[in-house]
Amino acid sequence: MNLRLRPTMLSDLDFVISVEQDQANLPFITPWERPQHEGAIRFPDFRHFIVETGAGNERVGFVILQGCRNPHRSVELKRLVLTPEDQGHGLGRACVRLLAQMAFRDLGAHRFWLDVKSLNDRALALYRSEGFVEEGRLRESVRTAEGWDSLIVMSLLEPEHVALQRAREQGAA
């Protein structure tokens, strides 16, 4: 799969906000305002990327890492959002694998973690299948149009990631 992450530029923010505000994505995220994205682009503790694919490097979403300078080597997958038409084709899985590799290899993480809304079954299944372990729940911590939802905190530790990589390599051989 031809997937590329490139640093988000200020000129990409209209696209980022449109993907985030898409009605299909809104139930699963808490959207940011433009100044929050601008800060994430500029602040060294964040990595804000545009997800591109295909021969023409078409923009299909964006991702944000936070904690890139965390002294405890704990990097957070803050956001992974794809355009609705590009979901369900393996791009999310490819992003998670690339981001885990970046967190552990490039950023020296010991722990790669995230939180996900409990109603986001598709993301939960993806993260579990990629080796993330549920650590706990922040019960009814997010207000929704229907009431409340809980956040599930999940993580992948460096030794677990190494073991997964070895298993994948052995399976491919």
Q: What integer pLDDT is reported at residue 66 of this predicted model?
A: 98
Q: What integer pLDDT is reported at residue 145 of this predicted model?
A: 83
Q: What integer pLDDT is reported at residue 50 of this predicted model?
A: 98
Order of all β-strands in the sheet with 3-7: 3-7, 46-53, 58-66, 74-82, 111-117, 147-157, 133-144
pTM for this entry? 0.94
Q: Concatenated DSSP letters for 67-132?
A: -TT-TT-EEEEEEEEE-GGGTTSSHHHHHHHHHHHIIIIIS--SEEEEEEETT-HHHHHHHHHTT-
Q: What integer pLDDT is reported at residue 173 of this predicted model?
A: 64
Q: For the residues 137-165, what does the mean pLDDT come to?
A: 95
Q: How far apart are CA 153 and CA 82, in angstroms?
A: 21
